[in-house]
C-alpha cells in the first residue's frame, strides 16, 4: 500500500532477476559522495531488505562499486561511455555492479537512478547506462513567505518558515532534498520572489545563520541555494537614500552585503531577482536599465562565484483595456531582446515559458531562439496556479512536452529540447529550467497525492527534455503504486487529466477566463476590464486578439517561419488559434464544425472526461490505502463541480452572446 | 472657514434679529437635562460669543427658560402646542425664550434645534414651534469589529475598538454622541452584526466594564445602546452542547447572561441579532423558527425592559445561477410574512428597505405594509457600500425620500412616511429606522467631508420622514458653510450627486453590476454566475429578470395595486423597470428611445455630470480651507475615474453584446 510521504521511494520488496552483491565498496569522497553511499544502503534496505556490507575497495570482490568514473575506470576493468558533468554510468556485470559519477553529484544521481531502475524492474545482468543531464541548471523556486504562507501554494504552509522566521524540521528537509535530488534538481531558491515584510531580513546576520543551516542540508544532496532579494534593499534595509544601481554607494552596499552572505553560505548559487514587476522595486525607478540593475548585482557576487537569476516577467500591469494598441504578450521580448549581449557573464535571464503567465495553453515565448548573447533559462510552474490548485488533477508534463517539442525555427536544431545546453555565445542555448514548486507541509507534500507526479516529472524533464510525458507517467505510477493494474489505471488517469482540463478551460488558447486573484474556477470577463492586460474582447460576432502583423504585431517577434505559421489561419495550431487571431464564431475549424460548436463540444467533452476520471478513481477503491483513496476522491469530486462550472459558464456565456444553439441539442443554460 | 471635525456645529458668529437674553434659567433635572443646559451654554458661546448667566427659575426675568413642558406651562404664562414623547416646544417672545421638552430627551432635542435654527437664521420674535419625532426608534448601527476595522467602513478605523479590545477617547465619543443626538438619534448598536472573534467576548464581565463606560457617555445624550450578539454564544462561549433556542439550558444561559449584562448597563436597549444569514448561526441549525429564536432571547431581556432587534436579512446565499426558479428578492417576505403575529411583544424585526441589499435603486420591500401584527423597523445604510465608498459623492436623502414617498397601497395613508408610527397591533406601522453608519476615526468623521450630509440627513429624516432631500441639503450646507454662495453651490453639488451616481451605475434598477466583495466600481458579470443570487441574465437580445406573476412571482408579494403597477410595463417606474422585467434592448421607453439607447444616454450623462461636479468644486477653491478643498478634490478626481470606468464598461458590454450603435455616435470602445 502507498505511503504518501515516501513518494517515489516506496518500501516495496523487489525480486531482481540478477545478483546484487551483498558488499558495497565506496571510494572516499566529500559529503555528497558520503550521502550517495548512505542513500545506496538505505535504498537496498528498502527494496531488497538487506544491509550492504561496506568494505574497502577491492576489485576481486563480488561487490557494488561506488565512485568517481575516472578513478574507477583506471582501477577496475570497468568501462562505459564516459559521463559528462554531473552525469553517471551504471554497469551491471555478472557479480559486480559499478555506479560511477563524473563527479560527486553524478555519483549521487547514479545511485538514485540505480535504485529507481531497480524498483522499476529495469535492471538486468549486462545492463549499462551512461547518462548526463542535458541542462546544467535544474532549479526549484519556492514562493514561500516568512509568515509561513506560500504564494500560489496548495499543499499547506511553508516547509521553511513560520511566524516571520525560519522554522523547519531537519529530517523533513532532508527527506525533501532527497526527493528533489533523486530527480536531478541541483539548485533551489528558498524564498518568494516578492520579497516583502520579514523576508527582507533574510540577508541579515540573524537570519543568515538559519539560512546556512538549511543550505547545509541541501548541500549534502548536491543542491545549492539561491536567495531572492529585494532590489530596493539598500534603501529599505540599508537606509541609503537610494537603490539606484549606478550609485557607487549602492554598489558598495551590495558588495559588502554579498561578502556577509557568503561568509555564512560560501557556495551560495546567487540571487534571484524580480525587479520592476507587479509593483516590486527595480532599476526603472531610477531611469536605469535592467542591465544596469543585474550587472551591478552580478559584480557584487562575482568574487564568490555567484550568479544572478534575473526574471523577465516585466510588463505594464497598469493597463487600460480601452487601449487596443497595447499587447502584454509582447512585453518580455520588447524589454529584453534589445539588451541581448549587454548582461555580465554571471547574469542569467529567467524567462517564463509563455508570453502571459503559466496559462493552460500558451505559445512558447519568442525570446527563446532570439537571444544569442545572453545566458538564460526557462521558467515553468509545477504549482497549479492556473491549472487547478491541486484540487483538479492536471498532469503537467504534457504541457512541458509540448514546450520541448516547439520548434523556434531559428536555424537548425531549433526545437527547444535541442537548445537546452550549456551557454555558448552566439547560440540560442537555454541553460536549463527553473520551476515554481508545488510542495508544502501537507503530509503528502503536494496536497493532491497524484500531483507528486508533476514534481517528479519536472525533475526528470529538466534533466532530459526529450523524455515524454507518457514515459514519465509510467515511471512515476510504477514507482508509487508498483507494477500492477492499479498503476496502469493511474497512469491512464494522469494522461487523461491535462486534455480534460484544457478542454473545460478557456477555449483554444484565449487564456485568462479565470477568477481574478485566486485563479481557480471560471470568470469569463473577470480580467476583461482590469489593469492586467489580458483581454479576449468577445462580442456578439467574434472573439480573440489579432496578434498578427495586421494586429498587435506580436507574431513578428518570432522567427520568420514561425511568424508565418502563426499568422496563417491554416497553419496556426488550433489549440492556440484564439491566442493569435480574432475569429468569428462561425469560423470553420479543421473538423468542419464552427468555432462556437467546437467551444461547446470541447466543454461538454472536458466535463465528461472529468467525470470519467472520477469513475476510474472509484474503481480503485479496494486497491488503495483508504486515506489516499478518500483524499483524492474528494478532490475529484470538487474537480467535477469545477468542470461543470466551467462547462456551463463558458457555454452559457457564448450562447447568451451569440444566440447560436448547440447542434447536438445538449443542455445549455440560458 | 470650515472646521471639518465640528460638522454642523461650526463656530460662526450669528447676528440674530431678536433678543437672546443673557440669563438662562434651567429647571433641575437628571443627567440629560443637565446636558441640555451644557449644550445651550456651549452653543451660545459658539454662535453669540457670550456666556449665559445661570439663575434660578424666575419668570419675571428676561431669560431663556429650559425645562419640562408640563412644568413650564403650569408655572409660566407660556403656552404652545404640547409636544409628544421626546418632543419639544420652542417659543421666542419679546424678552423671554422657552425651550420645553416633553421629557428630558425632548428638552435636549429642543436645545439642539434651537441652536441649529439660530445658526440657520430662522428664529425671530414670535417664533414658535412644537415638534415631536415621528419615529419612536431612531437607531444607528455600527459594523465595527474588535480588531479596529469597520465592515463596509470608509472613514478610518473604529471609534470604539482596537486590537481586540475597547479603546476609545472619551472626548471624541462625547463629540460623536452630540452629533448623533443633535439630529435626534436615540439608539446605537455598538458592534458589528457579524459577531466574530473577540467580539464574542463583549458579553463577558471584562468587556462589559468597558461597554458600560461607553454607554455612560451616550446616556447623557439620551442615547441607549444595543449589543449585537452571536446566536451561537451558549455553545461557542458558554460551552453548552447546543444553542437550540428551545433547549431549557440555552434559555437559562441567556437569562443569566442578560442578568449579568444589565448589571453593567441597566438601561441597555437590548440585543441586535443577525441569525441564519450569510453564514452566521441561527435557529435553522436546530430546525427551529425565527420566532423560536427571537422569542427565547426576548424572554431573557424582558425582566430588564430590553428589546430584541431581529434582522430579516435572511436568504439562501448558496444559490446556483442555473436555477431560474429561485428569486432572492422574495426571501425576506417568504421567511417572515408567515410568522406575522408570532413574535413576542419585545421583538422588533429589522427589515432592509429593499429586497436585495442597499442597492443604488431598489423597490421598497413588500414586507412593509404586509406585517400587521409584528413590531418592525426599516434598515437603511448611511455608509456608502454600494454607493461609492465615500470616494464618490452620493447624497443619500434622495434615496430615502423616494422610500418615504413610496405608497405600499395597503389601505389608506399607506405611504411609508404615513406608516412611521408607534406600533399598534393590526396596523402596518413602522416604528422607526436603523441605519449602518458612515463614521470612523478620520478627522472629519466620514472620510468624504460632504458625506457628513448623509449622517445629518439620516437623523433628520428618521425624526421626520416628511422632510425632503432638498430641505436637508439646504440645512446642512448652510450649517456647515454659512449662508452664502459657497453653501449654495455645495447644496447644488449634493443634490446633483445621486442622480449622477445612479446614471453611471447599473441601469434601470437591474442592480449588482459591481465588483464582488469590495462593491466599488463596475463588474458587469461579477455576480452573474456566483452563489449570491443576484443575476441579470443579459444575452444578445434582452436583459433582466421577469419578476411578475409570469416569472418568479415576486410582484405578488405586494398589495394588489402595487403588483398590478409593477407588472405592467406602462405603469412600472422606469428607474426600476429592469428590476421587475426582462426586456429586449429595442424596448421603447417613455422618451421614445430604445432601452439600449437609454442605457448609453444615461451613462454618458452620468459621467458628464460627475465631471461637472468636479468643476463646480474647483470653482470653490478660494472659498474653502485648503485641506478640505484638496481632500474633497482628490475624491472627485477618483470619482471621475470611476464614473468613466462605469460608463465605458457598461456601454462596451452592451455594445459588444448587441452590436447596436449609439445613435449620437459618441465613443464606445469595442
**ipTM value for the complex:** 0.90
**pLDDT by residue (tens digit) across A191-203?**
999 999 999 999 9
**CB–CB contact A525 B529 (8 Å):** no
Q: Which of B522, B523, B538 sits opposite A656 (nearest CB)?
A: B538
Q: Is A392 part of the annotated catalytic residue set?
A: no
Q: Which residues does A411 contact at the CB level (< 8 Å), separation at least 6? A: A428
Residues in chain B: 670
Question: Residue B1: pLDDT above 80?
Answer: no
- Catalytic residue, chosen from B39, B86, B385, B442, is B385
Chain B residues with CB under 8 Å of A657 CB are 539-540, 656-657
- Catalytic residue, chosen from B49, B94, B170, B278, is B278
**CB–CB contact A659 B541 (8 Å):** yes
Give the rounded percent of residues in chain A with a pLDDT score beyond 70.
Answer: 100
Instruction: Give the separation between CA A358 and CA A381, rounded to whole angstroms.
Output: 7
Q: In this complex, is the C-beta atom of A656 within 8 Å of any C-beta atom belonging to chain B?
A: yes
Cα within 13 Å of Cα(B121), Cβ side: 10
pLDDT (mean) for B224-248: 96
C-alpha cell at A669: 443554460
Strand-pair category, B187-189 with B224-229: parallel
Count of other CB atoms within 10 angstroms of residue B316: 12
Residue A549's closest CA among A537, A565, A563, A538? A563
Q: Are B25 and B57 in contact (CB under 8 A)?
A: yes
Chain A residues with CB under 8 Å of B514 CB are none
pLDDT (mean) for B323-339: 96
Cell 417613455, residue located: B590
Instruction: Give the separation between CA A593 and CA A604, rounded to whole angstroms.
Output: 15
Residue A314's closest CA among A293, A341, A345? A293
- Catalytic residue, chosen from A70, A170, A278, A637, is A278
pLDDT-derived band at A77 (thresholds 50, 70, 90) equals confident
Q: Are A63 and A44 in contact (CB under 8 A)?
A: no
Q: What does the mean pLDDT of chain A come to?
A: 97
**CB–CB contact B645 A523 (8 Å):** no
pLDDT-derived band at A290 (thresholds 50, 70, 90) equals very high
Q: In this complex, is the C-beta atom of B17 within 8 Å of any C-beta atom belonging to chain A?
A: no
Instruction: Give the separation between CA B339 and CA B370, rounded to whole angstroms.
Output: 11
Q: In this complex, is the C-beta atom of B538 within 8 Å of any C-beta atom belonging to chain A?
A: yes
Instruction: Give the separation between CA B352 and CA B229, rounded to whole angstroms.
Output: 19
From A38-42, A153-157, A195-199, B612-616, the region with the lowest mean pLDDT: A195-199
Which among A517, A669, A670 is the top mutation candidate for probing chain B, defined by the most B β-carbons within 10 Å of its own β-carbon? A669
Question: Residue A278: pLDDT above 90?
Answer: no
Q: In this complex, is the C-beta atom of B204 within 8 Å of any C-beta atom belonging to chain A?
A: no
pLDDT of residue B316: 87
pLDDT of residue A78: 84
Q: Which of A540, A648, A649 sits opposite B540 (nearest CB)?
A: A540
Q: What does the mean pLDDT of chain B come to?
A: 97
Q: In this complex, is the C-beta atom of B658 within 8 Å of any C-beta atom belonging to chain A?
A: yes
Residue A67's closest CA among A117, A106, A121? A106
Q: In this complex, is the C-beta atom of A173 within 8 Å of any C-beta atom belonging to chain B?
A: no
Question: Residue A316: pLDDT above 90?
Answer: no
Q: In this complex, is the C-beta atom of A389 within 8 Å of any C-beta atom belonging to chain B?
A: no
Chain B residues with CB under 8 Å of A529 CB are 522-523, 645, 649, 652
Q: Is B385 part of the annotated catalytic residue set?
A: yes
Question: Residue A2: pLDDT above 90?
Answer: no
pLDDT of residue A534: 95
C-alpha cell at A212: 546556512
Residue B27's closest CA among B127, B116, B128, B100? B100
Q: In this complex, is the C-beta atom of A321 within 8 Å of any C-beta atom belonging to chain B?
A: yes
Name the residue in chain B with its Cα closest to that of A320. B645
Chain B residues with CB under 8 Å of A656 CB are 537-540, 657
pLDDT-derived band at B294 (thresholds 50, 70, 90) equals very high
**pLDDT by residue (tens digit) across A353-373?**
999 999 999 999 999 999 999
pLDDT-derived band at B173 (thresholds 50, 70, 90) equals very high
Q: Which of A522, A539, A669 sits opposite B322 (nearest CB)?
A: A669
Q: Are A90 and A79 in contact (CB under 8 A)?
A: no
- Catalytic residue, chosen from A86, A244, A327, A357, is A357
**pLDDT by residue (tens digit) across A168-183?**
999 999 999 999 999 9
**CB–CB contact B539 A645 (8 Å):** no
**CB–CB contact A658 B541 (8 Å):** no
**pLDDT by residue (tens digit) across B47-62?**
999 999 999 999 999 9
Q: Which of A540, A652, A669 sits opposite B656 (nearest CB)?
A: A540
B/e letters for B196-207, b = 16+ CB within 10 Å, e = fewer, are eeebbbbbeeeb
**pLDDT by residue (tens digit) across B344-366?**
999 999 999 999 999 999 999 99
At B147, is the secondary structure helix, strand, or coil? coil
Q: Are B270 and B279 in contact (CB under 8 A)?
A: no
DSSP A295-352: HHHHHHHGGGT-EEEEE------S--TT-TT--GGGHHHHHHGGGTT-S-TTEEEEEE
**CB–CB contact A655 B539 (8 Å):** yes
Chain B residues with CB under 8 Å of A524 CB are 525
Q: In this complex, is the C-beta atom of B537 within 8 Å of any C-beta atom belonging to chain A?
A: yes
**pLDDT by residue (tens digit) across B504-520?**
999 999 999 999 999 99
- Give whole-number Cα distances, A632 to A156, A391, A440, A451, B358, in Å: 16, 9, 17, 10, 42
pLDDT of residue B2: 82
Q: Which of residues 572-611 of B touch A (CB under 8 A)?
A: none
Count of other CB atoms within 10 angstroms of residue A304: 16
Residue B453, φ and ψ in degrees, nearest 5: -65, -30
**CB–CB contact A656 B523 (8 Å):** no
pLDDT-derived band at B146 (thresholds 50, 70, 90) equals very high
pLDDT of residue A495: 98
B/e letters for B493-502, b = 16+ CB within 10 Å, e = fewer, are bbbbbbebbb
Instruction: Give the separation between CA A400 and CA A395, rounded to whole angstroms.
Output: 10
Residue A168, φ and ψ in degrees, nearest 5: -140, 160
Instruction: Give the separation between CA B270 and CA B584, rounded to whole angstroms.
Output: 49
At A629, is the secondary structure helix, strand, or coil? helix
pLDDT of residue A473: 98
Residues in chain A: 670
At B55, is the secondary structure helix, strand, or coil? strand
Cell 476520471, residue located: A613
**CB–CB contact B655 A539 (8 Å):** yes
Residue A314's closest CA among A341, A285, A343, A342? A285
**CB–CB contact B529 A645 (8 Å):** yes
Amino acid at each position: 500500500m502507498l505511503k504518501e510521504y515516501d513518494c517515489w521511494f516506496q518500501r516495496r520488496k523487489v525480486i531482481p532477476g540478477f545478483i546484487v552483491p551483498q558488499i558495497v565498496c565506496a571510494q572516499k569522497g566529500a559529503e555528497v559522495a558520503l550521502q550517495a553511499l548512505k542513500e545506496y544502503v538505505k535504498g537496498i534496505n528498502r527494496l531488497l531488505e538487506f544491509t550492504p556490507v561496506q568494505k574497502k575497495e577491492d576489485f576481486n570482490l563480488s561487490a557494488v562499486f561506488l565512485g568517481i568514473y575516472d578513478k574507477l575506470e583506471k582501477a577496475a576493468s570497468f568501462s562505459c561511455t564516459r559521463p559528462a558533468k554531473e552525469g553517471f554510468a551504471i554497469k551491471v556485470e555478472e557479480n559486480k555492479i559499478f555506479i560511477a559519477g563524473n563527479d560527486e553529484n553524478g555519483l549521487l544521481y547514479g545511485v538514485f537512478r540505480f535504485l529507481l531502475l531497480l524498483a522499476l524492474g529495469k535492471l538486468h545482468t549486462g545492463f549499462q547506462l551512461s547518462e548526463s543531464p542535458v541542462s546544467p541548471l535544474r532549479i526549484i523556486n519556492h514562493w514561500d513567505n516568512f509568515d509561513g504562507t506560500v504564494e500560489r501554494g496548495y499543499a499547506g504552509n511553508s516547509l521553511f518558515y513560520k511566524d516571520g522566521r525560519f522554522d523547519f524540521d531537519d529530517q523533513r528537509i532532508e527527506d525533501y532534498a532527497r526527493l528533489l535530488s533523486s530527480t536531478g534538481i541541483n539548485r533551489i531558491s528558498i524564498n518568494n520572489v516578492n520579497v516583502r515584510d520579514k523576508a527582507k531580513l533574510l540577508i541579515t546576520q540573524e537570519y543568515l545563520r538559519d539560512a546556512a543551516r538549511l543550505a547545509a542540508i541541501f548541500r549534502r544532496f548536491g543542491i545549492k541555494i539561491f536567495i531572492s532579494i529585494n532590489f530596493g534593499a539598500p534603501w529599505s534595509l540599508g537606509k541609503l537614500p537610494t537603490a539606484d544601481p549606478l550609485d557607487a554607494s549602492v554598489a558598495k552596499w551590495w558588495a559588502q552585503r554579498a561578502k556577509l552572505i557568503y561568509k555564512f553560505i560560501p557556495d551560495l548559487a546567487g540571487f534571484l531577482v524580480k525587479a520592476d514587476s507587479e509593483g516590486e522595486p527595480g532599476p526603472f525607478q531610477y531611469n536605469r536599465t535592467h542591465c544596469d540593475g543585474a550587472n551591478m548585482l552580478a559584480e557584487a557576487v562575482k568574487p564568490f562565484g555567484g550568479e544572478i537569476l534575473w526574471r523577465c516577467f516585466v510588463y505594464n500591469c497598469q493597463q487600460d483595456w480601452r487601449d487596443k494598441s497595447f499587447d502584454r504578450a509582447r512585453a518580455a521580448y520588447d524589454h529584453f531582446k534589445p539588451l541581448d549581449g549587454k548582461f555580465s557573464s554571471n547574469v542569467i535571464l529567467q524567462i517564463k515559458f509563455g508570453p502571459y503567465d503559466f496559462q493552460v495553453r500558451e505559445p512558447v515565448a519568442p525570446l527563446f531562439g532570439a537571444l544569442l548573447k545572453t545566458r538564460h533559462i526557462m521558467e515553468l510552474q509545477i504549482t497549479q496556479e492556473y491549472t487547478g490548485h491541486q484540487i483538479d488533477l492536471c498532469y503537467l508534463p504534457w504541457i512541458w512536452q509540448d514546450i520541448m517539442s516547439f520548434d523556434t525555427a531559428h536555424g537548425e536544431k531549433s526545437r527547444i529540447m535541442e537548445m537546452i545546453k550549456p551557454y555558448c555565445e552566439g547560440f540560442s542555448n537555454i541553460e536549463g529550467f527553473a520551476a515554481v514548486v508545488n510542495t508544502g507541509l501537507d503530509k503528502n507534500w503536494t496536497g493532491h497525492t497524484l500531483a507528486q507526479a508533476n514534481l517528479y516529472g519536472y525533475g526528470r524533464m529538466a534533466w532530459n527534455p526529450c523524455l515524454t510525458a507518457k514515459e514519465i507517467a509510467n515511471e512515476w505510477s510504477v514507482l508509487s503504486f508498483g507494477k500492477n493494474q492499479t498503476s496502469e489505471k493511474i497512469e491512464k488517469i494522469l494522461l487523461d487529466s491535462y486534455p480534460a482540463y484544457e478542454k473545460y478551460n478557456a477555449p483554444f488558447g484565449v487564456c485568462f477566463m479565470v477568477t481574478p486573484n485566486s485563479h481557480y474556477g471560471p470568470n469569463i470577463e473577470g480580467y476583461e476590464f482590469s489593469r492586467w492586460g489580458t483581454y479576449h474582447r468577445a462580442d456578439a460576432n467574434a472573439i480573440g486578439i489579432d496578434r498578427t502583423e495586421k494586429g498587435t504585431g506580436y507574431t513578428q517577434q518570432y522567427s520568420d517561419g514561425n511568424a508565418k505559421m502563426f499568422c496563417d489561419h491554416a497553419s496556426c495550431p488550433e489549440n492556440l488559434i484564439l491566442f493569435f487571431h480574432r475569429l468569428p464564431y462561425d469560423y470553420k475549424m479543421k473538423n468542419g464544425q464552427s468555432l462556437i460548436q467546437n467551444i461547446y463540444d470541447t466543454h461538454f467533452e472536458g466535463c465528461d472526461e472529468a467525470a470519467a476520471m472520477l469513475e476510474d478513481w472509484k474503481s480503485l477503491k479496494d486497491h488503495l490505502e483508504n486515506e489516499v483513496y478518500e483524499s483524492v476522491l474528494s478532490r475529484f469530486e470538487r474537480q467535477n463541480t469545477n468542470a461543470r462550472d466551467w462547462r456551463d459558464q463558458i457555454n452559457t456565456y457564448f450562447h447568451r452572446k451569440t444566440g447560436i444553439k448547440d447542434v447536438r441539442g445538449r443542455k445549455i443554460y440560458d
